[in-house]
């Protein structure tokens, strides 16, 4: 996995980097939230590990900005913090944080949480793949929508995209359907 680190403390950033590299991940490191957002846009990292308190943009604002951007792939967000308590936890969750790690970071705990993140991202991908399947009738080729209504393939696609259809006849169908009519 490509992991993005957003940590303003250079020693903490190096420790995180070393743990992640040793665990087999590729790493992009940023010194603050603004730099991390730019790096995330370029790398499309699936996992972000961010300090809460940073200059330029804190970890919560970074998470909010990532969540606001429209992407087809989910980003799992782990927040590093020395803060504790219910209020801090709820504030972070409202910002879109997926998981917490308290400082100082324990390498084994971080690796375990990254395995959880990988499982969740894998499940998310499977869910997205399943949502991409279209229930289609094997006989008439009509499609069932999420409200159990059946409609023609063309209408279904036209309603959900900017596609418009033009019609033609492929060579195989021309031979099978049109030529016999011309021979009459």
Note if the bond before 105 is cis, omega within 30 degrees.
no
How much is the pLDDT for 97? 92
What value, to the nearest 5°, has the Cα angle with vertex 154 and ends 150 and 160?
80
Closest CA to 36 of 23, 52, 48, 24: 48
Spatial distance between the Cα atoms of 111 and 22, rounded to a whole number of angstroms: 10
Domains of the chain: 2-131 (3.40.50.2300), 143-182 (no CATH)
In this structure, are residues 165 and 158 in contact, taking their beta carbons and an 8 Å threshold? yes
Residue 106: CB atoms within 10 A of its CB come to 13
How far lies 23's CA from each of 10, 27, 47, 52, 109, in Å? 20, 11, 14, 23, 12
> How far separated are the first and last CA of the chain, in Å rounded?
64
How much is the pLDDT for 131? 67
pLDDT tens digit at each of 184 positions of the chain: 899 999 999 999 999 999 999 999 999 999 999 999 999 999 989 999 999 999 889 999 999 999 998 777 889 999 998 777 788 888 888 888 999 888 888 999 999 999 999 999 999 888 877 666 777 887 777 888 777 888 887 877 777 777 787 778 888 888 888 888 887 7
């Amino acid at each position: 996995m490509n992991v993005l680190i957003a940590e303003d403390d250079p020693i903490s950033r190096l420790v995180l980097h070393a743990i992640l590299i040793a665990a087999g991940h590729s790493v992009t490191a940023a010194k603050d939230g603004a730099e991390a957002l730019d790096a995330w846009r370029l790398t499309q990292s699936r996992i972000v590990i961010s300090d809460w308190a940073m200059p330029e943009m804190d970890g919560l604002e970074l998470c909010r900005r990532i969540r606001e951007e429209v992407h087809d792939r989910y980003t799992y967000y782990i927040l590093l913090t020395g803060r504790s308590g219910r209020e801090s936890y709820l504030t972070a969750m409202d910002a879109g944080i997926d998981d917490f790690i308290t400082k100082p970071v324990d390498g084994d705990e971080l690796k375990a949480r990254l395995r959880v993140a990988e499982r969740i991202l894998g499940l998310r991908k499977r869910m997205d793949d399943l949502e991409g399947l279209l229930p289609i009738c094997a006989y008439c080729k009509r499609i069932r929508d999420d409200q159990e209504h059946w409609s023609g393939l063309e209408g279904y696609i036209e309603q959900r995209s900017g596609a418009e259809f033009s019609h033609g006849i492929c060579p195989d169908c021309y031979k099978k359907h049109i030529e016999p009519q011309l021979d009459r």
